[in-house]
Each structure stands twice: as structure tokens, then as C-alpha cells.
Chain A
Amino acid sequence: MELFERFHLPIYRYLLRMTGRGDVAEDLTQEVFLRVVRGADGYQARDHEAGWLFRIARNLLTDWQRRCAREPESPGAGEPAAEPGHDLGISIRQALARLPAEEREAFLLRAIGGFGHEEIAALVASTPAGSRSRIFRARSKLRAVLSPEPFPDT
């Protein structure tokens, strides 16, 4: 399945960084593509595949977040994602996890999804200016990781 090959990694990484959980990110990514397979016949807008897939992913993420809010997690369920990569990347991704969700999401949709502000605004029900502002704030906070000052708590 071509869509899977092209998009499963960005979608997995988006979900991983939004949930902080590798097991959950895998489950949700799998569900994204199962929904695609089930509904693939009805899909025609080939120019907007990425937006379509990320919208499914985001809806699943929102459902998962609602379930988490309703059902406190049992101890030991799921482990935080392992962090491969070099030190700077790890530090920045850890800082990413501490950003407010809306800033983190906008930044991820830009950096991982490659979306423009118009597309991000449509995905997260905001405005292009709102997207730009969230990304700017996120980037500014992440940049603090590179400086000697401690990362500000948000």
C-alpha cells in the first residue's frame, strides 16, 4: 500500500510525540491505515492525502486523549518511547514533550508533516496567524535548549 509506505513514519512520529507513548503511537498509526483500507474506495482527493491522513490521526488522538481523561491509566501500562539518536536531538525532543500541546502539535505538523500555516489551521481548527504564533512560541522555547539558560517551565 503506497500510502502506508509514504506516510506511516511521519504519522507515527507525530502520534509518538503527541502521546509520548510508543505503544499508543503504534496502535493509533495502525488504526489510521486500517481506516484507510476500509474507506479507500471513497477517497478521491489525491492532492490532499497527507491532510486526510493526519486528520484521521488527529481524530484518533483526540479520542485517545478523551479516553485517558475518563479512565486513569493502570500502573505500568505502556512505557515512554525509547529515544534513539544523538544527544542534541534527544534534548530537543524531550523539550518538545514539555511544550503546551497546541504549540507542540502545530510545530510537529510543520516540522514532520510539512504542512503550511493554512493547512495546520484547518487541521487544528485555528487560523493561519494562530498557527504561525504557536510555531513561533514552540520554536523559541525549543531554542532555549541550545542556550545555557534552563528551559522554562510552561
Chain B
Amino acid sequence: MKAETEEVLSCLVDGEAVDPDALAAALAQPGGVAMLVDLVRVQRAVADDPARPSAAFYESIRPALAPARRARLFGIRMPAAAAAALALACGLGGV
């Protein structure tokens, strides 16, 4: 299998512009189609990595990101939240 064949197919898998004639020649090589399938399999195997952080990671980082959330929440919803709190306080105060 020529190195140029693999290079053309690698570029194709990368989504790069490929010369159609070079691609046709690469696919016409013995094993050319199988190589293309292999390259796609490799790409997918890495791109579809199922690894995820642990639950402890999320527990640890979410509070650290909370200030940004609070800022957004206060900026948009504070009047409603404040009104609700005030209404609740008044209601409780009347009892």
C-alpha cells in the first residue's frame, strides 16, 4: 500500500479538501477501501471515548462554579425571587 494512498485517505477522514482523482486512485488500490474503513474506525474509537470524570469530581467542582451561576440567577431572576421571599416573610410574620 502506497504511503500516498494512506495520506489521501487520512486527509479525507480529517475533512480536508481532497483531489477527487487522487481519492479515486487511492480507493482503487488493493485494500484501499479497507484502509479507509480502518481509518474511520480509528477516528471513531478515539472520538467516542466513553471516559468520564468520577462523581466526586462533579461534587467537588459544582460549588466552585456556583458564583457564576448565582450571578446569572441574580441578574435575571432576583426580582421574582425577592418578591417570593418577601411574600413568604410577610405571610409568616402575620401568623
Contacts and interface: CB of A to CB of B under 8 A. Distances in A.
A111 B57 contact: no
A93 B46 contact: yes
Contacts of A12: 51-53
Interface residues of A, number: 42
A132 B35 CA distance: 18
A9 B52 contact: yes
Contacts of A42: none
Interface in B52-77: 52-54, 56-57, 60-61, 64-65, 67-69
Interface in A1-34: 1, 4, 8-9, 12-13, 16-17, 22, 25-26, 29-30, 33-34
B43 interface: yes
Label chain A's interface by main secondary structure: helix
A49 to B, nearest CB: 14
A149 to B, nearest CB: 12
A9 B47 CA distance: 11
Contacts of B7: 136
B41 A26 contact: no
Interface residues of B, number: 32
Contacts of B46: 17, 92-93, 96, 107-108, 111-112, 142
A89 interface: yes
Interface of A: 1, 4, 8-9, 12-13, 16-17, 22, 25-26, 29-30, 33-34, 37, 40, 81, 83-85, 88-89, 92-93, 96, 107-108, 110-112, 117, 132, 135-136, 139-140, 142-143, 145-147
